[in-house]
Amino acid sequence: MRQKTLEDFPTFRLTRLTRGETSPEGLTAVELEGEFDRVVKPVGEITWFWLLIGKRDAVCAQWKSLGQDPRAATLVTHEKELPEMIGKTLYYLSPAWKPVNIWMVLDEQWGWEHVRFQAVDAVAETYQANDVSLVDGREVKTWTKLQRADKRTLTERYAPTAEQTSPSSGEQQVIPGGWDHEHCQLCRGHIDHGAFGYRDRDELWICENCYNRYVRVHDLSFVDEL
């Protein structure tokens, strides 16, 4: 099977860029007019996606309107500092992924380290949500937020709380070995305690299978898997 490269992604040809108002938070609304090289449609009810620019830039764009030509579109983005876009190739990336997922596979100097994952302590905090969610047929309003106790990453995980064992809302408790797995950035699978995987300097992990299948050969076909 032929490898997927960035050149296989849909591209957006920018024909007009219009700057709008700047919000109190310092975000400037920028309208982008142009056309895709093929028909690209919103993913369900999701109205945003990514435009990749060069090797390390990206903006989050939203659909504003579609033209009579199904490839034509007007987009809007809100940025504090807009990357240079005029004359650049802008690659469409589905909202199912993040720009870092592309860069970590393409960059030969990303700095992956083959290591065994070891569980670490976690800090759990219980809180009450404003709304009730339905999880596996059960109404849930009490959730537990889990973070690494060593704060090597700011990643948070959320799970329904077992009411009979949960601490008071807002109370924190340390769970020995509670951070017992990581998620592969590409397949979303678990890398459990004692298993080997590939870790970068920001504590992002990729499982051995995805590393060999995608990263080692710089293949972007994983974007079609979801």
Assess whether pLDDT exceeds 50 at residue 178.
Answer: yes
Predicted pLDDT at 168: 54
Confidence label for 131 from pLDDT (cuts 50, 70 and 90): confident
Ranges 22-36, 53-67, 121-135, 138-152, most confident: 22-36
Task: Specify burial of residue 4 (Cβ count, 10 A radius: 0-12, 13-18, 19+).
Answer: middle
- Same domain, residue pair 70 and 168: no
The predicted model gives 68-87 an average pLDDT of: 91
The predicted-structure confidence for 46-73, as pLDDT tens digits, reads as follows 899 999 998 889 999 999 887 778 899 9
- Same domain, residue pair 222 and 127: no
Domain that holds residue 207: 96-117+181-226
Mean residue pLDDT of the chain comes to 90
How many domains in the chain? 3
Alpha carbons 226 and 214: distance in angstroms, whole number: 15
- Same domain, residue pair 192 and 162: no
Assess whether pLDDT exceeds 90 at residue 183.
Answer: yes
Residue among 147, 138, 143 nearest 127 (CA)? 143
Predicted pLDDT at 94: 95
The predicted model gives 7-27 an average pLDDT of: 95
The predicted-structure confidence for 191-200, as pLDDT tens digits, reads as follows 999 999 999 9
- Same domain, residue pair 80 and 173: no
Q: What global pTM score does this model have?
A: 0.86
Predicted pLDDT at 181: 96
Position 1 in a domain: no
Position 221 in a domain: yes
User: Looking at per-residue confidence, does 24 or 128 come out higher?
Assistant: 24
Assess whether pLDDT exceeds 80 at residue 5.
Answer: yes
The predicted model gives 104-111 an average pLDDT of: 96
Confidence label for 139 from pLDDT (cuts 50, 70 and 90): confident
Predicted pLDDT at 164: 42
In this structure, the strands spanning 48-53 and 57-66 are antiparallel
Alpha carbons 218 and 199: distance in angstroms, whole number: 17
Confidence label for 43 from pLDDT (cuts 50, 70 and 90): confident
Predicted pLDDT at 143: 87
Position 130 in a domain: yes
- Same domain, residue pair 34 and 129: no
- Same domain, residue pair 70 and 56: yes
The predicted model gives 189-214 an average pLDDT of: 97
CATH code, 79: 2.40.30
- 3-class state of residue 224 by DSSP: helix
- Same domain, residue pair 225 and 187: yes
